Structure 1
């Protein structure tokens, strides 16, 4: 497996769609399950398998062998992934305080209240 020391790996549009399906699932999925969930895109099975393989190399997906089939599950929750992205973005800012201030400025009053509650 490839280690990603440079932060959270970026995701392409199709990778985000596949991760969305995996994050919404209540159990491990096969490539066919993912393909069916994205039926509106008319993806070939090989395309889905390629994307799942990329996500596995990026250490975002775990592949589990079940007999002849493989099942896939996300390594972390969507919320964990978003938190890592936010942390990675802040690490890249030359002025963390200014970046946080701009981020807070973009939040709704309800989101800021929620954040205040979490901090208390």
Structure 2
């Protein structure tokens, strides 16, 4: 009987999606799944990258277009939108969103809390 080797620690939920999005945002234009694979962990399978890209496509976080026989991939938004997307992912994993948001706001420096209030007031005025 062959003894199994040491297990790698599991990635945090969404960590691989975040890494793929970060790689896409670092690219200077549309890139292939192979390009993304080269920039991520050396032991990451091409099929894993494709699965992550397909999930991100379904979530509306990336787009793709056919070039030849394969696709090239692009992020839908810039780095600020990527950070906002990550924040939404965290909130989506919590049961008490109100408590999480309240804790977040109370830990903001005063100037950032004021900025958040201004942004929320502006959004309220546009409705």
Q: Normalising by the residue count of structure 1, what TM-score does the alignment of the two structures yield?
A: 0.64
Aligned length: 103
Query: Following the alignment from structure 2 to structure 1, what is the Cα–Cα distance between the partners of residues 44 and 85?
Result: 29
2:15 corresponds to which residue?
13
1:100 Cα deviation from its structure 2 partner:
4.9
For residue 33 of structure 1, the aligned residue among 32, 35, 53 is 35
- Over the residues paired in the alignment, what is the CA RMSD in angstroms? 3.0
Name which structure has the greater RCO, CA cutoff 8 Å, separation 6+.
Answer: 1
Q: Which sections of structure 1, spanning at least 5 residues, go unmatched? A: 1-10
CA spacing shift, 1:86–1:34, aligned 2, 3 Å: closer
1:21 Cα deviation from its structure 2 partner:
0.8
Query: Following the alignment from structure 1 to structure 2, what is the Cα–Cα distance between the partners of residues 84 and 13?
Result: 12
SS in 1 for 2:64: strand
1:73 corresponds to which residue?
74
Q: Normalising by the residue count of structure 2, what TM-score does the alignment of the two structures yield?
A: 0.61
CA spacing shift, 1:34–1:86, aligned 2, 3 Å: closer
For residues 65-108 of structure 1, give each alpha carbon's deviation from its aligned partner in whole angstroms, at most 9, with x where no partner exists: 1122311011122322433565784xx867x5x7655323222x
Which segments of structure 1 move beyond 6 Å, counting only runs of 4 or more?
Answer: none
1:53 corresponds to which residue?
54
2:84 corresponds to which residue?
83
Query: Any conservation in 1 of the 2:25–2:78 contact (CA below 8 Å)?
Result: yes
